[in-house]
Amino acid sequence: MEMIMSKSKPITLGAAIFYGGLIAGILDAADGFVAYYFTACFNPIQVLQFIASGFYGAAAFQKGISGALGRNRVASTKMAATAKA
């Protein structure tokens, strides 16, 4: 059996952290949208603020959609970076 070697370049640590944070953020938000919509009737902005509050505390609720989206993304990336270490 002939072994085929990939010619693609290996992924860098920075790219792995970025993509890991992106995937974690998307899955976390999707799970939160579904779970909290059906159980507590939260809208998506409230869900994202709630997710971000796990990392930022009460400050996550002080800004509207921009704070929810930005803080959720930063929190997911930081969690992916610390999981690697």
Whether residue 17 is contained in a domain is answered as yes
Whole-number pLDDT of residue 37 = 87
Q: Which domain holds residue 62?
A: 13-84
Whether residue 7 is contained in a domain is answered as no
Q: Are 52 and 68 in contact (CB under 8 A)?
A: yes
Whether residue 40 is contained in a domain is answered as yes
pLDDT exceeds 70 at position 76: no
Whether pTM > 0.85 for this model: the answer is no
User: Tens digit of pLDDT for each residue in 16-75?
Assistant: 888 888 898 888 778 888 988 889 888 888 887 777 777 777 877 777 776 666 655 666
Whether residue 2 is contained in a domain is answered as no
The residue assigned the tokens 């920075």 is 14
pLDDT exceeds 60 at position 85: no
Whether residue 38 is contained in a domain is answered as yes
Query: How would DSSP label each residue in 16-83?
Result: HHHHHHHHHHHHHHHHHHHHHHHHH---HHHHHHHHHHHHHGGGGGSS-HHHHHHHHHHHHHHHHHHH
Query: Domain count of the chain?
Result: 1
Whether residue 65 is contained in a domain is answered as yes
